[in-house]
Amino acid sequence: MKRAIVLILALLVSGCIDTTLPDLTLELGEGRTDGPVCGPDKLQNFPPEQLRITLIDVGQGDGIWIQTPYYENQQLESRNIIIDAGPSGNVPGTSPGGAVMVDYLLTNGLPPGERIDALVISHAHEDHYGGVPALAAMFEIGRYIDPGFAANSSGFLAARGAAQADVSKVGGQSQVPAIPELVPRPFVQTDLFGQYVESDLLWSAAVPPSGNTTDPSGTDVNNTSVAFAIRWGGKQVLLLADLEDEVEQELINANLAGEIDLTSAVMKVAHHGSSSSTSPAFLSHVYPNPGSEEWAVISSGRRDFSGVTLPTEETLANLTRVLGEHHVLSTENRDDIKSPGTEHGDDTIIVTIDADGTVQACYAQ
């Protein structure tokens, strides 16, 4: 009744009622990966019965914090899973990903010495493993997983050693290689994400699919990546690390054979949005009937790779064609106005899935 009176008064005063809808394009911005910004409640609260996936803005690299749902006691029921730790910052032009992750975790609810239930390093590239020593120095690591392929990298072996030493101190588990130590083969369900979140290991390879172990290329190493599908509230999230098109085709084949179901509400885009992944064919299996709750999220920085920056325009065009505007978010958002190595920390992405299947994604600026 009060609302009706207000409307009548407005009509009398103005002569008409403005029913124009707000221009959400302007509100959300017109940048290539602009999107919603999280409200204060999203940043300050982690409510029960919610899966939360945070892509921490580590610059060029991956650093993902997964908090699994709880019902009554967050401390006892929810698990903290870290997938990749960003770069060390010791390589010129890169960001101090490990330090960025430690700061974010401390600021958002993990006190010094808290248990990280599991740390997964997807593969032996520095922008994924470089931050491990920083995490191991600040937190306890209860479980450690990587694909087993070290790619002749002393840095990767040192990072693995730092994590395993931490695991040993607390009597935890080191499951290297992920196959068969975590699961016997791909497409098998894991217990990694706790009792409430279903998860499958989609991929991990102790030897590159090419068989090239003596002088592995970047593609060879990427295609050993540990990748997962996780499910909560009837919705699925793909966490694809740096897998490239050869393995994406293997996943398409498994999907067609009924071994897995790629249909997802959210995809962590493979290989930082490189054009070597995320083909239209792959997207057609991940998003067969896209609607308003499907998202793609990208972990990337503004580092120059021989004239190419990530995510590529080709990948963004493929994603936007399927999902529409403002449903493709990237930690690289608007980093083109920053100097290389200074782009971290301002475009962290939070994805939440509630028990009723409600999916939201936003920038935690």
The three-point CA angle 298-302-303 to 5° equals 115
Report phi then psi at 230, rounded to 5: -125, 150
The three-point CA angle 74-76-78 to 5° equals 50
- In our burial notation (b when 16+ CB lie closer than 10 A, e otherwise), range 111-145 reads eeeeebbbbbbbbbbbbbbbbbbbbbebbbbbbbb
Per-residue pLDDT at 44: 84
C-alpha count within 13 angstroms, C-beta hemisphere, residue 122: 32
pTM over 0.85: yes
Per-residue pLDDT of 291-342, as tens digits, reads 989 999 999 987 666 666 779 999 999 999 999 989 999 999 887 777 776 7
Q: Which of 135, 195, 136, 130 is nearest to 156 (CA)?
A: 130
Contact 116, 137 (CB under 8 A): no
Per-residue pLDDT of 40-85, as tens digits, reads 888 889 999 999 999 999 999 999 999 999 999 999 999 999 999 9
Per-residue pLDDT of 109-139, as tens digits, reads 999 999 999 999 999 999 999 999 999 999 9
Mean pLDDT over 22-42 rounds to 74
Per-residue pLDDT of 134-175, as tens digits, reads 999 999 999 999 999 999 999 999 999 999 999 999 999 999
**Which domains are present in the chain?**
38-363 (3.60.15.10)
Per-residue pLDDT of 253-279, as tens digits, reads 999 999 999 999 999 999 999 999 999
**Rounded Cα–Cα distance for residues 39 and 41 (Å):** 6
Q: Which of 91, 86, 90, 88 is nearest to 57 (CA)?
A: 86
Mean pLDDT over 29-35 rounds to 83
Per-residue pLDDT at 4: 40
Per-residue pLDDT at 22: 42
3-state secondary structure (DSSP) of residue 52: strand
Per-residue pLDDT at 308: 67
CA dihedral 312, 314, 320, 326 (to 10 degrees): 20
User: Bridge-partner residues for 231, per DSSP?
Assistant: 198, 236
**Rounded Cα–Cα distance for residues 25 and 142 (Å):** 44
Mean pLDDT, the chain, rounded, equals: 90
CA dihedral 350, 62, 300, 51 (to 10 degrees): -20
Mean pLDDT over 95-107 rounds to 96
Q: Which string of DSSP letters, residue by residue, matches 97-150?
A: HHHHHHHHHHHTT--TT-EESEEE--SS-HHHHTTHHHHHHHSEE-EEE--S--
**Strand-pair category, 235-239 with 227-232:** antiparallel
Least confident of 193-207, 312-326, 332-346, 347-361: 332-346
Contact 36, 361 (CB under 8 A): yes
Alpha helices in the chain (DSSP H): 2-14, 24-28, 40-44, 74-77, 97-107, 126-129, 132-138, 154-169, 178-181, 218-222, 245-256, 280-286, 313-323
